Each structure stands twice: as structure tokens, then as C-alpha cells.
Amino acid sequence: MHEASAAEAIVKMVAREAEARGLAEGKSYRVSRIGMVVGETTGYMRESMEFYVAASAKGTAVEGAELDIRYVKPLLRCPACGLDFERSRFSFACPACGAQGVMTKTGSEFYVDSIEIEPEGDAAPASPMPSAAASAGTGARP
């Protein structure tokens, strides 16, 4: 459920962008790729996001769009020595000096970075190449 309302908001946002562009140019666009940046503290899982975005996109100009998520690891800043570091599992201690780190904004991102649109009616390749994101398949997971 966590991802469902996010997916709806994403589909609505990018569909409107494509529509606005189409209206301005007297064309009709579909969205072929959604590039997102997601900080890991948000807890949005790649598989769930893909599932819910695909489900929300059915019957819209976003149907079939590839979801390309770049995950961002949360960074803590050491108040003593200034080091930015990634936390370990159950500790926020600075690996250099041991002081308790403080959470930074890095890792709480949640936005659509860019989209790819193409004119409606352009035939998609019969056997599309696997996308970079899908074939890599090793992206960070919160």
C-alpha cells in the first residue's frame, strides 16, 4: 500500500506533463521513461514502485513507461570531525572518530527527475532491448 498512492501521484504528474507538451505543440505524446530519484529513508521499494506505477498507468499516456529509479543512500554528518558517512545497521556513530552522526537531507529525496516522451503512434520496437535499469537489477533497495 505504501507505494500505491505515490505511484498514482507520479502517473498523474507525468501524464499531465506529456499532455501539456502535446497541447503546446498540437501533438499527442506518450511517456516512455520516468526517471526518479528516491532516498532510501523513504522506504519506497523498487519492485513495488514498478508494480504500482504499471498498474496506475494502465489506459493512460504513461502505460508501458520504463521506471528508472536512482536510489540515494542516506548520509550522516559527524558533528565532531565533519565527515559525511553512511550508517551501519544499528549505529549512527562516525567511523572516523566515534561521535554520533546527525542525519542530513541526503537520503530523503523523492522526486521525478526527468521523463522521456515520444509522439503517440510511434511503434515501439517489436522486441525491446532490456532496459539498463532492468538488466542491471542490482540497484540499491531500502
Partner 1 sequence: MRLELKRAIYEENDELARKINEGLRSRRIFTVNVLGSPGAGKTSLLTRVAERLRPEPLAVIEGDVASDIDTVALKALGIDAYQIETGGDCHLNAPMMEAVLGRMEISDGSWLFIENIGNLICPAEFVIGEDLKVVVASVAEGSDKPYKYPAAFSKSAACILTKIDLREAVGFDEGFFRAGLASVAPGAPLFPINGRTGQGVDAVVDWLKAARASSLK
Judged by the rule CB under 8 A, the positions of this chain that interact with partner 1 are 1-2, 5-6, 9-10, 13-14, 17, 21, 29, 36, 41-43, 74, 76, 87, 89-92, 100-103, 108, 110-118
Q: What's the min distance (Å) between Cβ of 101 and partner 1?
A: 6
Residue nearer to partner 1 on the CB measure, 97 or 111: 111
Residue nearer to partner 1 on the CB measure, 24 or 129: 24
Q: What's the min distance (Å) between Cβ of 137 and partner 1?
A: 23
Residue nearer to partner 1 on the CB measure, 51 or 92: 92
- What would the 3-class secondary structure string for the chain be? CHHHHHHHHHHHHHHHHHHHHHHHHCCCEEEEEEEEEEEHHHCCCHHHHHHHHHHHHCCCCCCCCEEEEEEECCCEECCCCCCEECCECCECECCCCCCECEECCCCCCEEEEEEEEEECCCCCCCCCCCCHHHHHCCCCCC
Residue nearer to partner 1 on the CB measure, 47 or 90: 90
Q: What's the min distance (Å) between Cβ of 111 and partner 1?
A: 5
